[in-house]
Amino acid sequence: MNVKIKKIFFNHSFIFFLFCNIFSLVFFKIDISIISPLICLLLILVIGVSHGSLDHIKGKKLLKTFNLNNISIFYFTYLLLAISITIFWILFPSTALIIFLIVASYHFGKEDTQFLVNENTYANQLLFLFKGSLIILAPLLFHFDETISIFKLLLIKNETFYSSLAFIENNKLLNIGIIISTLSSIFLFMKNFELKKFTIFLDYFSIIILNYYFTPLIAFTIYFCFLHSIRHSISLMIELDQNNLKNGLLIFFKKALPLTILTAIFCLIGMYFLNKNYGFDSSILKLIFIGLASLTFPHILLEYLIEKNEK
């Protein structure tokens, strides 16, 4: 099974790499502003969020380990965590953003790479963190001012926070961060080498290309939807039907639809209230990143508890 997953993900990474190159060449000659924040939001809602929309099934599995059968306990806890993260962000935006960026770096690095790694050591966990940090560091390196503008829209008003970022940029510390992330990818690639590990570098160069040519929001949306989310969704499809990926896709679609629709409804409600106090594009950016943070933490916690229980 692991061999099959590696082959599928290698092909996916290769197609995504070609897509990034072609897409970049096409839009290099076109006004990129036609890709609005609204389009990014819709893509994240339809493709991005759906990769976590089977969490309720994993929740049922987790509840059984505690001899609990009431799925409403899972929904209540999951929703409570998401709301708590949102409240924490509103109260302590700078701290919440820093924690979110660290957790997201680890999550992206692990989810995109763990199928290639057999050992679940602390060293590998650290390498996942460094590898995934490329998602955070690349937009700061290529589009520093635009990335800072997004941070300011996310309720970050701490001048010390921005002074620290300016210090990092002025002293070329971002370059050092990129080098560390690159070295982590090289180390993961060389450890127990096999050809399918070229997936790591296909993903690496895809992320660099996206962030070089596109704005931080567009680059993140393309990565999150078409690399990270689709890869995770494929693994879920294989779990649902190991022998027939097409049938797994149909089952996944049916099971993922309810929570995807529910998330979209909450998104529209949030958009309604945000739009009363902020501009349309500003409301969308808040909804995307703060909303993703509120969903990411319970999603990662669930994955951790399932993984720990299986061990």
Please report whether residue 174 resides in a domain: yes
- The reported pLDDT for the residue numbered 291 is 87
What pLDDT, on a 0 to 100 scale, did the predictor assign at position 37?
Answer: 87
Output the pLDDT for position 59: 85
Task: Check: CB of residue 217 under 8 Å from CB of residue 150.
Answer: yes
Q: Please tell me the total count of domains within the chain.
A: 1
Instruction: Tell whether 88 is covered by a domain.
Output: yes
Residue 34 domain-assigned? no
> 142 phi and psi, to 5 degrees?
-90, -25
Chain position carrying tokens 């590998």: 124
Say what the pLDDT of residue 29 is. Answer: 62
In a domain, 196, yes or no: yes
Range of the domain at 117: 2-21+39-310
Is residue 29 a part of any domain in this protein? no
Tens-binned pLDDT, residue by residue, of the chain (311 aa): 477 788 889 999 999 999 999 988 887 666 666 677 888 988 998 888 877 777 878 888 888 888 888 888 888 898 899 899 999 998 999 999 999 999 999 999 999 998 898 788 889 999 999 999 999 999 999 999 999 999 988 877 878 888 888 888 888 899 999 999 999 999 999 888 888 899 999 999 999 999 999 999 999 999 999 999 999 888 888 888 888 888 888 988 888 887 788 888 888 888 888 888 888 888 888 889 998 888 888 888 888 888 777 66
Residue 213 lies in a domain: yes
How far is 23 from 209, CA to CA, in rounded Å? 10
Helix, strand, coil fractions of the chain, as percent rounded to 5: 85, 0, 15
- Let me know if residue 46 belongs to a domain: yes
Enter the DSSP assignment of 172.
T
pLDDT at 158: 79
Query: Does a structural domain hold residue 28?
Result: no
